[in-house]
Structure 1
Amino acid sequence: MRRAVEGLATPYPIGTLLPAVFQEDPVAMRWTGALDEVLAPAISTLDCLAAYTDPMLAPADFVRWLAGWLGAVLDENWPLERQRAAVAHCVRLYRLRGTVEGLRALVELATGGEVELAENGGVRWSTAPNTPLPGEAGAWLSVRVTVPRGATVDVVALGELIAAEKPAHVPHGLEVVER
């Protein structure tokens, strides 16, 4: 007979939970032993559930499922460690979404490089009416990414990522340079 998962035993054999009269019956013990083999993978999964929901510990194929569960879109070309980091940081990135710091963190995560952002905006308040607005009249955003020598960055995909994260009315420029 072939086991459901070779070598996987249950830590809670059903036969030991039966009354003594059934524990002495070989048919009952074989029957519960068969159930133990079928249920062992489910019990093991439930015992390890915390590891499945931690993107740094989860099996590789489960990381993409976690990303979908959290609403994160992963680039399948990224190495597994970068995908794990993206899932691990996606909640923090959602909190920062729409901010300069959020865009910086996202681009750093996507490229593994150092990101410099420049923009025209600013915030000011005044108690006097008709105070001039800060910044320039036209909105703009400049993104400069410095990556290690020899690193490959898909500039088109990075530009699309930035376009999706920045305000729609703000044009942006992108520059990727090597150290």
Structure 2
Amino acid sequence: MSSGAPAFPRGPRTASERAYLRAGLPSLYRDPGSFAMGFVGGLEEVLDPIVAMLDNLHAHLDPGLAPPALLGAIASWLGLRFDETVGVDERRELVRRAIDLAPQFAEQPGEPKRRGRKGGVIRQRGTKAGLELVLQLSFPDLELAVQDDGVAAASTDPRESPRPSPRTFSVTWSPKTPPSARQRQAIDRIVRDMKPAGVRYRPPGPSAT
């Protein structure tokens, strides 16, 4: 009689269930009651947790399924750091978007355009668009915008080499959804971590409108 509960697919069998080592023994030692079969069967049970981890390694590295403690390690491999105020769901989305368009997965000249791809964190790191993406994924309930004053310098004298003042990033938020003091500190940390070294940063403030 069916209980009505959804049926979930069974995971891979353990090493001992598959006779992981016993199946490789010569037929001379495969007598079910022999010492060799019992001894090797005991070794299989020792290997069960290790083999189970290897069988499910893909799930441990999937941003949507990875244990929260492992998300930080995956992010560090991609050059990302989580702020302590960012929730687990937001962290998963940050890693997912970082992986989607990491440089090694970027479209190459002559390749057909991939469908369904969204802008990624790594390829846009250090840009206005990249900062806005990280802030949007980290604080989905806030309306944040990044301003880039963009500077340039020119001279009519070819012997002169004018030096423009450094660019400056600033962050503004909508008065409708002001961030808390803790969130403002987190925004400050994230931008300072993601911006290029030669770019200045103005602390966040409310937008003019």
Give the TM-score taking structure 1 as reference length.
0.71
Q: Per-residue deviation at 1:66?
A: 1.7
1:54-100 CA distances to partner (integer Å, 9 max, x unpaired)? 12111222222222333321123432111222222334312111211
Q: Per-residue deviation at 1:36?
A: 0.8
Q: Pick from 24, 33, 37: which aligns with 2:41?
A: 33
Structure 1: give runs of 5+ residues left out of the alignment.
1-7, 124-128, 131-135
Query: Greater share of helix residues, 1 or 2?
Result: 1
Structure 2: give runs of 5+ residues left out of the alignment.
1-12, 103-119, 157-163
Instruction: Output the aligned Cα RMSD.
Output: 3.3
Question: In percent, how many aligned pairs have the same letter?
Answer: 26
Q: Pick from 12, 37, 40: which aligns with 2:18?
A: 12
Q: Pick from 12, 23, 26: which aligns with 2:30?
A: 23
The one-letter code sitting in structure 1 at the alignment partner of 2:25 is L
Q: Is the 8 A contact 2:83 2:186 kept in 1?
A: no
1:111-158 CA distances to partner (integer Å, 9 max, x unpaired)? 2233323332278xxxxx85xxxxx98854332234986975521221
Give the TM-score taking structure 2 as reference length.
0.63
Q: Per-residue deviation at 1:31?
A: 0.8
- SS of equivalent residue, structure 1 residue 93: coil
Q: Per-residue deviation at 1:34?
A: 0.9
2: CA distance, partners of 1:147 / 1:82 = 23
Q: Which residue is equivalent to 2:8?
A: none
How many pairs align? 162
Within-5 A mapping of 1:18-167: 18-24=25-31, 25-90=33-98, 91=102, 92-112=120-140, 113-121=142-150, 130=156, 139-146=167-174, 152=180, 154-167=183-196
